[in-house]
Amino acid sequence: MAIKFGRPLERIHPAPVETLAPPEPRLDLKIRPRRNRRAEWVRRMVRENVLTTDDLIWPLFLVDGNNVRVPVASMPGVERLSIDQAVRAAERAAELTIPCLALFPYTEPDKRDDAGSEALNAQNLVCQAVRAIKKAVPQGGVLCDVALDPYTSHGHDGLMRDGVILNDETVAVLVRQALVLAEAGCDIIAPSDMMDGRVGAIRESLDAAGFGDVQIMAYAAKYASAFYGPFRDAIGSNATLIGDKRTYQMDPANADEALREVELDIAEGADMVMVKPGLPYLDILQRVKETFRMPTFAYQVSGEYAMIMAAAGNGWLDGDKAMIESLIAFKRAGADGVLTYFAARVAEKLKKTDA
Ligand code: PBG
């Protein structure tokens, strides 16, 4: 008889049949949660959260020129678009029933200065894009970031003096930037700068200038995050940024402080609030939604997008499944919507599964 590792490979005398028969353990369970998961129809029936195209805000990067699409290396599948291409993207968004776009300009280096003055140029790239998009697709929403970082030579969101980011002086400029954007036809002003008091100042000026219908989505709890890296490639501010943004963006270690920030922005007149980044801050998102019951949005930022795309590109995970799972997580945590670079891709997928 063959022996391997000291044990016989075959039995000389087969064991009695009874002992070979598999045991039939039966737990005495009245409650078996798996029953509601046993087929797709019932999983659909008991599903608590649903992702639809209504939940999506699609961020686009803009660049000068005509018929230009420049890939962003750290964000596979994302390109900087010239205005004509951004208009095509807006038409695609409308077809996909994505309600809103968010616009971010790449500003040519020769237009950047200490004061970020290009932000106040009514003919700047983002203002021209707003006009073109609102003309072509008037039924869709357009959101614009208010902050100076695409325009400053030092890459900061505000004015800098002796290495210090000035608060009140910056707010005065942001107010003018918001007015220029509203004048161009922007529907939602989204201050992303984290200066104190900017929401109230912007609201007051919009109202005084006759833009009472223009909404404000405050980047209310925005953290000083490493996950913005690819975005800064896309708008060219990685090259310019001096130091970091920790004197105005929040410390990732803090949670209660986020509630105080959100409370202030609501009191100052924010119509909607946002938590940013997304997945690493789901706890904040949930607390904000539960505490204030406001329209609450999450920003799945560039680094989150890049991580999923990089892993998918290497064959390390299923990109589409990871995309859907990450987006439903925002819904589960209480988000009313998500700014995501996956917007068009996930909308295509949702459309297919509907059909
Ligand atoms: C600019 C701004 C940033 C993002 C949105 N608006 C970057 C930053 O604050 O440095 C990040 C978006 C992303 O990473 O996708 N104030």
Is residue 233 over pLDDT 60? yes
Check if the beta carbon of residue 327 is closer than 8 Å to that of residue 340.
Answer: yes
Question: Could you confirm whether 352 is annotated as catalytic?
Answer: no
Is residue 103 over pLDDT 60? yes
Is residue 10 over pLDDT 70? no
pLDDT, average across residues 33-44 = 98
For residue 7, the model assigns a pLDDT of 56
Is residue 138 over pLDDT 60? yes
Distance, CA of 124 to chain centre = 24
Interval between CA 177 and ligand 1 midpoint (Å): 17
CA distances from 353 to 48, 332, 349 (A): 18, 20, 6
Atom from ligand 1 closest to the CA of residue 301: 15
CA atoms within 13 A on the CB side of 329: 15
- CB proximity list for 159: less than 8 A, separation 6 or greater: 114, 115, 116, 148, 165, 166, 169, 170, 173
The one catalytic residue among 222, 245, 289, 331: 222
Interval between CA 9 and ligand 1 midpoint (Å): 65
Share of the chain above pLDDT 70, in %: 94
Interval between CA 59 and ligand 1 midpoint (Å): 11
Question: Could you confirm whether 111 is annotated as catalytic?
Answer: no
For atom 7 of ligand 1, which residue has the closest CA? Answer: 228
Q: What is the distance between the alpha carbons of residues 118 and 141, in angstroms, rounded to a whole number?
A: 24
Is residue 164 over pLDDT 90? yes
For atom 10 of ligand 1, which residue has the closest CA? Answer: 228
Atom from ligand 1 closest to the CA of residue 302: 15
For residue 3, the model assigns a pLDDT of 52
Is residue 24 over pLDDT 70? yes
CA atoms within 13 A on the CB side of 231: 22
pTM, two decimal places: 0.92
For residue 333, the model assigns a pLDDT of 98
Sorting pLDDT into bands at 50, 70 and 90, what band is 19? low
For residue 17, the model assigns a pLDDT of 59
> 15-19, 68-72, 171-175, 297-301 — which is least confidently predicted?
15-19
For residue 8, the model assigns a pLDDT of 54
Out of 193, 238, 301, mutate this one to test ligand 1's pocket (max ligand atoms within 8 Å of CB): namely 301
> 2-6, 174-178, 304-308 — which is least confidently predicted?
2-6
Query: Residues lining ligand 1, judged by CB closer than 6 Å?
Result: 145, 147, 149, 157, 192-193, 228, 231-232, 245, 301-302
> Mean pLDDT over all residues of the chain?
95
- Joined together, the tokens standing for residue 262 give 């959100």
Out of 126, 143, 149, mutate this one to test ligand 1's pocket (max ligand atoms within 8 Å of CB): namely 149
**pLDDT tens for residues 258-301?**
999 999 999 999 999 999 999 999 999 999 999 999 999 999 99
Interval between CA 44 and ligand 1 midpoint (Å): 36
Q: What is the distance between the alpha carbons of residues 317 and 17, in angstroms, rounded to a whole number?
A: 45
3 phi and psi angles, rounded to 5 deg: -120, 130
Question: DSSP states of 112-152 as a string?
Answer: -BTT-GGGG-TTSHHHHHHHHHHHH-TTSEEEEEE-STTTB
Interval between CA 344 and ligand 1 midpoint (Å): 20
